[in-house]
Structure 1
Amino acid sequence: MADQPMSNSSRRVAAPCQHFLFVTDPMQSHVASTRRLAERVAAAAPNARVTFSTAVSAHRVMFPHLKSPDGEVLHGVVSYIPYSDGFDAGFNPELHGANADAYWPRARAVGSETLRDVVERLTGRGRPVTRVVYTALVGWVAGVARARGMPAALFWAKPATVFAVYHRYFHGHAAELLLSGLPPLRRDALPSFASMASPGKRHHLTLAVLRDLFAALDDDDEDHGTVVLVDTFDELERDALRAVPRLDLVAVSPVAAWDEPPRRGLLLLPGEAKACIEWLDTKPARSVVYASFGSVLSVSKRQEEEMRRGLDATGRPYLLVAHGGGGGGERAMVVEWCDQRRVLSHPAVGCFVTHCRWDSTVESLAGGVPMVAVPRWADQTTVAALVEESAGVGVRARVDGEGVVSRGELLRCVGW
């Protein structure tokens, strides 16, 4: 069904017994995973209503052709209605300050107020929200839900092991992170708490936001227990899912694996993404090395140079995602962006060099593609341990004193 602005007749439909409201921050990966979960719930519970809400800036990206870019949209069986985080044109460091501290306090205050307006608007239309699901970076949503007596569940779009490690850290057990209840983890597999806890460090604010989140979970637990929906599956993290007995951690299976297989028609893909697939179509099965460190954090010039030299040295065709893109040829393709889920499900791809963000890892697992793990910060080191030791589907690359994976190390890891 095409995107449709909500009509008056749509608003007069009688409310069903359940109405799920999914709320996420505007980060692209969080929007994508939460949207898939919302669509899955809508498919599994056809008699319920499902509404998805993200910040106005992300809503406008999702539906760029709306006459009213902030308006409510019906797409399939899910309705989309945004809240404002105070940065409707998106957070711009040049305008709002280079430090992310300028974003979170305002986003929490404005978001809490405007999400309450969304809930009240839905109630006024005869569609009262009965249950709320929210992501980790909008922990303030739990307070909005609690004030209206609505049950709320956290959607943890990371492994259960990471959740259990953070839970112990924020409850004063930083020295006991390797005790029973968690799978064996080396010290270098734990999140980089020491760096994250230092004021002024790039990811210090992330740790503060997570601290607030776990405090909110404790408040909910005192009232009626808390459900945490975890983007994982029992076979991979059976022990970790039971490592926090005071909370009910429920595996909802990797949401990245829920979509139908990619359709062969590529007419809707952007030009660069379509070119990637067409290039892969010319390569033998399992012959291509795909390398990407994501689009959020940049890599050093030395690391990019070592990456290109190492991939060249493998003698295998490779697809590299790098800032600026460009370059390559018959044996190599370098782009600024690609449709990663389509790439990892393509039969020509035989290896994924990844920074181990969880959604990327899940997409690789779903595509059956082995990984070379190059974690860069925070809990990516823990995900790398799951890839190498728990799932046995990859190898972790060693870095030098500057945190760079050399061309020789990359060649060692990729060789097969």
Structure 2
Amino acid sequence: MSAATSPSERRVSARIGAISESATLAVDAKAKALKAAGRPVIGFGAGEPDFPTPGYIVDAAIEACSNPKYHRYTPAGGLPELKAAIAEKTLRDSGYEVEPSQVLVTNGGKQAIYEAFAAILDPGDEVIVPAPYWTTYPESIRLAGGVPVEVVADETTGYRVSVEQLEAARTERTKVVLFVSPSNPTGAVYNRADTEAIGRWAVEHGLWVLTDEIYEHLVYGDAEFTSLPALVPELRDRCIVVNGVAKTYAMTGWRVGWIVGPKDVVKAATNLQSHATSNVSNVAQVAALAAVSGPLDAVAEMRTAFDRRRRTIVRMLNEIDGVLCPEPEGAFYAYPSVKGLLGKEIRGRRPADSAELAALILDEAEVAVVPGEAFGTPGYLRLSYALGDDDLVEGVSRLQKLLGEARD
């Protein structure tokens, strides 16, 4: 669009026109469309458990549908009983003690992330974003007027950034550092010492931290989830935690997330939500109340399955020449480097980057993966292993067959 274009001629605002479509949702939508057209596509794109929402949670929602109490507006910041339950759950699961007034219930984790950034960022404020990153983080920062500053980690460090890297990226405009462990898209988990070091560095420089804890219960082997504000109490007045029920309870479609943070920030974000969406669906909130108040048996069952699939997908991917896949310690994603395949001939094509390789894989093997370009690091692919065991083995077997044909 020309800089000389008058406001009346602009059909879409520059702010919204600059937003990229969610790459993960786009890949998932394309895979589902191809399947609906009769093609045997196997999708590794979407980050959602293949398990149903536990029955007791569904039952609570069904009961709520019949209760006139939930047919009306409720407080924009969330049902009081759910906010209290989230505070109790936060103490139970991470050792972080908060009050219900420090909780805002949102329409999923994405709204929580955007509203958190919108509440604390002014135009030009910088946010340090470790890469590979989930696609929504930089878009939310830009929408809030901030400037994402990427700090890249690769497979040699298990996709974990160091304090030295963060310090090198810090400027006088830096206000926030993003911290995500376990990570989407890499499955990286920071150990206790590294988590504490990052927290103390943030305290030393008076920085805010936004920490996404939505994969807190999905860690494997010797890896351990640690909550940053619980580990570094001095950070609590400048720390915002985002979380939700989507991954732990297989509730991606229910759209319930939350913010936990300082009262003034939560109040500001609540004011924003009161104008943007009002309250989250009451039926979904009641379902979330049953989830966070209930046992963790469902996630334990899912974690066992994910752990099995994790080991299978890593082994099979590393059997492909030109592919290097570190073992993820959390979440449900593998993030292999495919740089060794770029430029090689595969069925008459020479993919120059991972986006072209992902397109080739979909065309030739009917397997949907997300290219690393979506996560700020070209040369990689993200594969979610939150799908059935048989589909996982079949899908990676197709990759082995196709990519095994690569020639110089």
TM-score, normalization by structure 2:
0.31
More helix by share: 2
Larger RCO: 1 or 2 (CA < 8 Å, sep 6+): 2
Q: TM-score, normalised by structure 1?
A: 0.30
